[in-house]
């Protein structure tokens, strides 16, 4: 029996059965092990991130299903994949997804509701609209980074109703929506930003082309992942997927509405 260095639990073997702490052996402290660790960290050889993200793209819904069924050690938790992608996205949040500039806010579904509070906020700041817009856009990016989980939670709510007979728990629906959000961040925000910048197609990308692209890619992802994760099929799957696209759009608008008010209240 050894006593765990982290939690004090007495156990046998190389890993604590309470907290998972590894028993250090002399080899763990060797230069060779150190160099191996550094090499792995640099080359991504042991990188579960790339592996898990790759699976999300090739087999939509598979990682969520593995997680829900308790096969987890092979993958980076989807929530971690999500936060890494967010980190990348918020370096250049050009595509208005979880970030929403003042202009995007005013053109959104609830844009009409925002004009009154906006006018009040501009007056309170005592600056002109251009200066206010600059300050607003800086402030809202910071908040959006913290708030993005709210979108996932909101968007996962309808799944509890649409797939109530699916034998999935509330937290499984949230995990699944995290995977949907990962797909969107990677394909519709990061890769799309790269393509637009590398090809110089920026002038041809407008709201309409973006919306069509979002609908097509999400329809593809929701149908494939719904089949895998909820074992739904045929016309029910198609109808539920179309419904989910509308409900995800609604969740995004509600998220942006909350983001707007948080931004002007904290400015």
Residues that bind Zn ion (CB under 5 A): 4, 6-7, 9, 16, 18-19, 21
Say if residues 197 and 171 touch (Cβ distance below 8 Å): no
- In the bound state with Zn ion, the residue whose beta carbon lies nearer, of 16 and 190, is 16
Q: Quote the Cα angle for 132-137-140, to 5°.
A: 115
Q: By C-beta, is 1 or 208 nearer to Zn ion?
A: 1
Q: Minimum CB separation from Zn ion for residue 25, in Å? A: 16
Question: Helix (H) and strand (E) counts for the chain?
Answer: 11, 2
Q: Please, what is the minimum distance in Å from the beta carbon of residue 5 to Zn ion?
A: 8
- Nearest residue (CB) to Zn ion, 18 versus 124: 18
Output the smallest distance, CB 17 to Zn ion, in A: 8
CB of 24 to Zn ion, least distance (A): 13
b/e 21-47 (16+ beta carbons within 10 angstroms → b): beeeeeeeeeeeeeeeeeeeeeeeeee
C-beta closer to Zn ion: residue 2 or 7: 7
Nearer to Zn ion, 31 or 73 (CB): 73
DSSP labels, 121-145: HHHHHTS-HHHHHHHHHHHHHHHHH
Question: CA-based Rg of the chain, rounded to a whole angstrom?
Answer: 22
Q: How far apart are CA 200 and CA 194, in angstroms?
A: 10
Q: How far is the CB of 7 from Zn ion (least distance, A)?
A: 3
């Amino acid at each position: 029996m050894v006593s765990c260095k982290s939690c004090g639990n007495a156990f046998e073997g190389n890993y604590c059965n309470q907290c998972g702490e590894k028993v250090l052996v002399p080899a763990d402290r060797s230069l060779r092990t150190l160099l191996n660790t550094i090499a792995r960290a640099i080359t991504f050889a042991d990188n579960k991130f790339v592996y898990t993200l790759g699976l999300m793209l090739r087999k939509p819904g598979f990682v969520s299903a593995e997680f829900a069924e308790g096969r987890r050690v092979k993958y980076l938790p989807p929530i971690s994949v999500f936060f890494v992608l967010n980190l990348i996205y918020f370096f250049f949040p050009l595509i208005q997804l979880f970030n929403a500039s003042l202009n995007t806010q005013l053109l959104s579904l609830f844009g009409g509701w925002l004009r009154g509070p906006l006018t009040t906020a501009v007056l309170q700041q005592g600056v002109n609209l251009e200066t206010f817009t600059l300050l607003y856009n800086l402030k809202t990016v910071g908040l959006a980074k913290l708030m993005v989980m709210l979108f996932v939670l909101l968007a996962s709510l309808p799944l509890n109703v649409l797939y109530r007979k699916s034998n999935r728990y509330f937290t499984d629906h949230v995990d699944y929506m995290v995977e949907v959000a990962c797909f969107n961040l990677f394909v519709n925000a990061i890769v799309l930003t790269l393509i637009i910048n590398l090809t110089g197609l920026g002038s041809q990308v407008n709201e309409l082309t973006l919306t069509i692209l979002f609908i097509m890619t999400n329809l593809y992802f929701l149908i494939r992942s719904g089949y895998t994760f909820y074992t739904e099929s045929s016309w029910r799957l198609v109808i539920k997927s179309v419904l989910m696209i509308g409900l995800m759009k609604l969740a995004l608008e509600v998220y942006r509405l909350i983001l707007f008010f948080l931004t002007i209240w904290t400015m």
